[in-house]
Structure 1
Amino acid sequence: MSAWQERTIEQRNLLNPAFCAIAVWHLARGYRTEATALGSNEDGLPLALAFVGASLVLRGQTRDQLPRTITSSLATWVNDHPLERSAVAKGVVVLRETVREALLFGAQQGLLSLDGHRIEAGSTSAKKMNAYLRASSEDVRDCMRQATFVGRWLCKAGAPPTVLALLGVKT
């Protein structure tokens, strides 16, 4: 983890721990929503999928290429978007430290709950998140809407090893 003052202004503004923790909160919330709808007993967003989800959501070009419905399969999307597949796999590596820092920050602030290899959206009320989003730019709101969508989509995509393999992410 590089020292804060050594980070570029873009890293400090776009990839700061608070913003990324909020994105992971939305990923975990979306995952839980879909798991509940499917009648699954999943205990939260798998840790590996937090890194994949962040890579899908934090890069604007990839975010713009995401499907519009969760009924679109990940395998089909990967087949139709080979360059995005590569970008996501690379993004998982590039964002590794950023996501780790966000997970720690989120857990310290009560935003995220980490239990083994699963992440739960913490007890932070949806009211506080909605207030944050109302005061945010359209880009931030879009990023968080897409994070919720990606959480739901990844829940339907299969087991974490399957998702990682489809996206070409090496563990």
Structure 2
Amino acid sequence: MRPPYPDWQQRSSDYRNLFNPAFLMLLIYCVCEAYETECIRRGKLDTVGIPYALIFLALPMALSKSFNDERPKRVAGTLVNWLRTHPVINIDLSASAYSFVPAVREGIVFALQAGYVEVDEKGLFAVKDKAINLELAKKIELSRHIENANFSGRWLAKSGSAATILEAFGLRP
């Protein structure tokens, strides 16, 4: 059973700030853009968009302090291999992915309604308009989260199928 959507007025100010749908939309946009870029760079033009299920993993990765303190500086190895040497982070991200579901869903809906991402006929999410100006966001505190979202998108793109990645975390779509 997934956690319920709390009414906006009943959410704490910390929750409203961290899981603001507009903020999550920005991270989703960054994840989708980085995933697409990595797929194109690797010549995987038939699967350019990110699978729906991986968005629910990418955002906890982008927001997790423990993951981002321990992650490699470059996307050299696969995420699945890295997880074997970092089991505590694996457990932390698995639990976060589950608890973030309502907030990530709201962020996805917001991003789709705002027209920044779209879903193709295969059900993959891709950037719709590449004209978002992230310069202001990069200059303020959001830059760390944006960098983490970009890293997560690139790493997920090169780490295998969605099913393999989710299985490594002990998750199911």
The TM-score with structure 2 as length reference comes to: 0.91
How far 1:81 moved relative to its partner?
A: 0.9
Q: In structure 1, what is the equivalent of residue 33 of structure 2?
A: 29
> Identity rate of aligned residues, in percent?
26
Q: Please give the per-residue CA displacement for 1:93-118, whole angstroms capped at 9, x wherever unaligned.
A: 10001111000001111121123521
For residue 157 of structure 1, give the secondary structure of its aligned residue in structure 2.
coil
Which of 11, 14, 20 aligns to 1:10? It is 14
After superposition, residues 57-136 of structure 1 pair within 5 angstroms as 57-115=62-120, 117-126=123-132, 128-134=133-139, 136=140
Task: Give yes or no for contact 1:110–1:124 (8 Å, CA) kept in 2.
Answer: no
1:40 matched to 2:71? The reply is no
Task: Give yes or no for contact 1:112–1:120 (8 Å, CA) kept in 2.
Answer: yes
2 CA distance for matches of 1:101 and 1:72? 32
Bigger helix share: 1
TM-align CA RMSD: 1.4
Q: In structure 2, what is the equivalent of residue 159 of structure 1?
A: 161
How far 1:130 moved relative to its partner?
A: 2.1
How far 1:70 moved relative to its partner?
A: 0.9
Task: Give yes or no for contact 1:31–1:154 (8 Å, CA) kept in 2.
Answer: yes
Q: How many residues align?
A: 167
How far 1:170 moved relative to its partner?
A: 2.9
| Structure 2: segments with no counterpart, 5+ residues | none
| Structure 1: segments with no counterpart, 5+ residues | none
Runs of 4+ aligned residues of structure 1 deviating over 3 Å after TM superposition are: none
How far 1:124 moved relative to its partner?
A: 4.5
After superposition, residues 44-55 of structure 1 pair within 5 angstroms as 44-55=49-60
1 CA distance for matches of 2:36 and 2:94? 24
